[in-house]
A and B are shown apart, each in its own frame.
Chain A
Amino acid sequence: MLGRGLKRKLSDYEENMAGLSSAFDSSRSLPYPLKRQLVLNMCLTKLQTYKMLVEPNLHRSVLIANTVRQIQEEMRQESNQQPVNICPGITPSSHSYPGMESSGISLQLPSGISQQESSCCDLRSVEDPIENSLLIVSDDDMSSAISSILKDLDFVEDISPPTCLVPSGDDQPKFPENTGLKLEDDRQDLKGAECVFGSFEISNSTSYLKDLAIDDIFEDIDTSMYDSDFCCPPLMPPRSPSLATEEPLKTFPSCNSSSASNIQICRTDLSELDHIMEILVGS
């Protein structure tokens, strides 16, 4: 696409991408979902590249993130209207998909779901060579990619205190339902912990943490203890000499429910945690 006079060395991947984007531009027969997938992949690739930069360009990141959100929203609407999962590319078209050039991004529903299912796989094999070079990306990946980019930009750019204690919407990794306690506080304090991590890790690690569910790390520590404000005060005084080591524990908010069984759990887990803290602090 660049001027013919210039020779440019391309890696294989870049050559594929250049070939694909030329195909996008020149081909009117490329199916709409495929075009959309191609654009989505390009966006995510760019976001990934920007994450590796020390200082990503905020303007570009925002534009790309908006494009991803737009595509994501469209795909979400499509999948909401169709109970059966469409395979990520092809639907039979007696309706031809409007190319990008003509009427805009309209949600064209296939005429029948069963028809779609059966012919889906057939067409898929035909389109395979192209699709193989496209990544199939999930909703969560996209959301976490966008939010981690923008959050990293916040740290990188602004010294003002992180305003990360506000629980955000749907773009958080899934939290466990198992404690049966108030999850809002869980979300808040885990996100708070995450932000603390985020401030001190380089951007790659931050996204790594995001992609793991946070509870994987805390698996062997039962955080339910911290949701019970009944158990903490009575247990604290006997441990006053090591109170200093428990300062970090106070970053977790005070608990809000209690039960007898919790006290038992509290005691054993608290001593375990205490042991861990002693190791960490080196006392």
Chain B
Amino acid sequence: MSHKQAGGPAGESAADWCLYQLNGAAEFEVSEADIISTVEFNHTGELLATGDKGGRVVIFQREPESKNEPYNQGEYNVYSTFQSHEPEFDYLKSLEIEEKINKIKWLPQQNAAHSLLSTNDKTIKLWKITERDKRPEGYNLKDEEGKLKDLSTVTSLQVPVLKPMDLMVEVTPRRIFANGHTYHVNSISVNSDCETYMSADDLRINLWHLAITDRSFNIVDIKPANMEDLTEVITASEFHPHHCNLFVYSSSKGSLRLCDMRASALCDKHSKLYEEPEDPSNRSFFSEIISSVSDVKFSHSGRYMLTRDYLTVKVWDLNMETKPVETYQVHDYLRSKLCSLYENDCIFDKFECAWNGSDSVIMTGAYNNFFRMFDRNTKRDVTLEASRESSKPRAILKPRRVCVGGKRRKDDISVDSLDFTKKILHTAWHPTENIIAIAATNNLYIFQDKVNSEMH
């Protein structure tokens, strides 16, 4: 993917990624609250939502394409900013509830308004985003400022007319789904039926109806009768994109469970269990920790699942439970550093993963502000960096390389020089185009493929 090739296999040429735009303050001005904690495109790609540690949601909207410059497609401008969650205090348990936004999921658009779900550790909220660009003028009883008119001055009746005004984006909380979770919510997923959604915490998964906030159904519960017997937690979950009865959840032991809600009310028994036997040659004290799945995503086709564990991304075929069909090494050079990474807790970092719109390329983040892309067809991969220094607008990103000793080329970075505080945990890919959003601490990078604006 690092070199342009004219007429490669099936007419596909390699992508050249360049910085589209960068939002966020310079790094020395970072406050903890500004750290981006989730990124999500909506179903058309017109809107991009980010959530941060301070409980805020920022929505970017893409400007319509200008016909004069087809390659200079619309920028993402801030559309709306609102405070989604506030810090709370649970008086019963004397615990602070963080306002950090863990996940945002868009609802499919059904009318002029946009809706999204945002969640912190405990509470999920449904937000409705509407535009107002007209307002009525010419009321009979009220004047322009809204004060009641003196009735004696009203001599005739008029029909109020709608006049254009500056665009105002209004965001209102339509539903608050509270008290459904004892443990920390790690994922939410909207069902393809557009009526229900699920939320998962460490031990339980709840099914909600979007219109009902005082009730939810518990569909998975892996809490043991005796907490001392607990050996596994739920790490991520997602509904199948097409089959409204199917969902998958991943565990800290590296397994995936596909469940069918038609089978029973409580889906503790999985329909399928996806587990790869451990590779004995790679066994270490940290084997279990690095096998914990941090993210699971269905492909757009619904045929495959993508999982991310500490060192790899794997593609699973829904029809094959015994092992993944593809495994990609994200940063295998860290395998010999596991003890140090355990000591500084980096081994617990939860990286996300993403499919492109045609399910041909997968992407995930790494350390040192690097992110990786793997082309499933050509089997080529690339490492790119999201940093101010290496990203000049419109300049093509240069592939990076990490060297593990041995031959070192110019511009290579050695493993020991990697900055483990700069981690790319959250990434998102536009649903139809080659545009990606990368969250690096408090900065949001949007990269675009200059060569191929459409996906292959």
Contacts of B343 in A (CB 8 A): 1, 17-18, 21, 42
Q: Which of A100, A151, A160 contacts B285 (CB 8 A)?
A: A100
Q: Is the CB of B340 within 8 A of A58?
A: no
Q: Does chain B have a CB within 8 A of A166? A: yes
CB contacts under 8 Å to A, within B278-293, are 280-281, 283-286, 288-289, 292
Distance in Å: Cβ of B93 to nearest Cβ of chain A: 6
Q: Is the CB of A5 within 8 A of B288?
A: no
Given contacts A3-B419, A4-B416, contact A62 B232 (CB under 8 A): yes
Given contacts A151-B227, A156-B93, A163-B225, contact A66 B288 (CB under 8 A): yes
Contacts of B344 in A (CB 8 A): 1-2, 18
| Stretch in contact with the other chain, from A76-84, A101-109, A216-224, A272-280 | A101-109
Contacts of A101 in B (CB 8 A): 336
Q: Is the CB of A150 within 8 A of B337?
A: no
Contacts of B345 in A (CB 8 A): 60
A245 to B416, CA, bound (A): 67
Contacts of A226 in B (CB 8 A): none
Q: Is the CB of B338 within 8 A of A25?
A: yes
Distance in Å: Cβ of B386 to nearest Cβ of chain A: 16
A62 to B418, CA, bound (A): 28
Contacts of A151 in B (CB 8 A): 227-228
List residues of chain A with CB under 8 Å of any chain B CB.
1-6, 17-18, 21-22, 24-26, 35-36, 38-39, 42, 54-55, 57-60, 62-67, 69-71, 100-105, 146-147, 150-151, 153-154, 156-160, 163-164, 166, 168, 171
Q: Is the CB of A1 within 8 A of B227?
A: no
Starting from the known contacts A63-B292, A146-B228, 14 additional A-B residue pairs (CB-CB under 8 Å) come to A1-B416, A3-B417, A3-B419, A3-B420, A5-B419, A21-B339, A21-B340, A60-B345, A66-B231, A67-B288, A69-B231, A103-B280, A104-B281, A168-B226
Q: Is the CB of A59 within 8 A of B233?
A: yes
Q: Is the CB of A70 within 8 A of B342?
A: no
Q: Which of B92, B96, B223, B420 contacts A159 (CB 8 A)?
A: B92
| Interface residues of chain B: helix, strand, loop or mixed (majority) | loop
Q: Is the CB of A63 within 8 A of B227?
A: no
Contacts of B288 in A (CB 8 A): 63, 66-67, 70
Contacts of B401 in A (CB 8 A): none
Distance in Å: Cβ of A143 to nearest Cβ of chain B: 9
Question: Which of A26, A54, A100, A160 has the largest count of B CB atoms less than 10 A from its CB?
Answer: A100
List residues of chain B with CB under 8 Å of any chain A CB.
92-96, 182-184, 202-203, 223, 225-233, 235, 252, 280-281, 283-286, 288-289, 292, 336-345, 348, 368, 416-422
Contacts of A6 in B (CB 8 A): 419, 421
Q: Nearest residue in B to A14 (C-beta to C-beta)?
A: B343
Q: Nearest residue in A to B290 (C-beta to C-beta)?
A: A63
A168 to B227, CA, bound (A): 11
A260 to B406, CA, bound (A): 84
Distance in Å: Cβ of A162 to nearest Cβ of chain B: 9
Q: Is the CB of A1 within 8 A of B94?
A: no
A146 to B229, CA, bound (A): 10
Q: Nearest residue in B to A5 (C-beta to C-beta)?
A: B419
Contacts of B252 in A (CB 8 A): 59, 62-63
10 pairs, A vs B, C-beta closer than 8 Å: A3-B420, A18-B344, A38-B339, A58-B184, A67-B286, A67-B288, A70-B285, A71-B285, A151-B228, A166-B226
A18 to B392, CA, bound (A): 37
Q: Which of B228, B283, B338, B421 contacts A3 (CB 8 A)?
A: B421
A5 to B345, CA, bound (A): 19
Q: Is the CB of B230 within 8 A of A62?
A: yes
Q: Nearest residue in B to A160 (C-beta to C-beta)?
A: B182
Contacts of B422 in A (CB 8 A): 3
Q: Is the CB of B94 within 8 A of A166?
A: no
Q: Nearest residue in B to A2 (C-beta to C-beta)?
A: B420
Question: Which of B92, B93, B337, B343 has the largest count of A CB atoms less than 10 A from its CB?
Answer: B343
Q: Is the CB of A59 within 8 A of B235?
A: yes
Q: Which of B230, B235, B336 contacts A25 (CB 8 A)?
A: B336
Given contacts A54-B95, A55-B95, A63-B252, contact A154 B286 (CB under 8 A): no
Q: Nearest residue in A to B414 (C-beta to C-beta)?
A: A4
Q: Is the CB of A63 within 8 A of B289?
A: yes
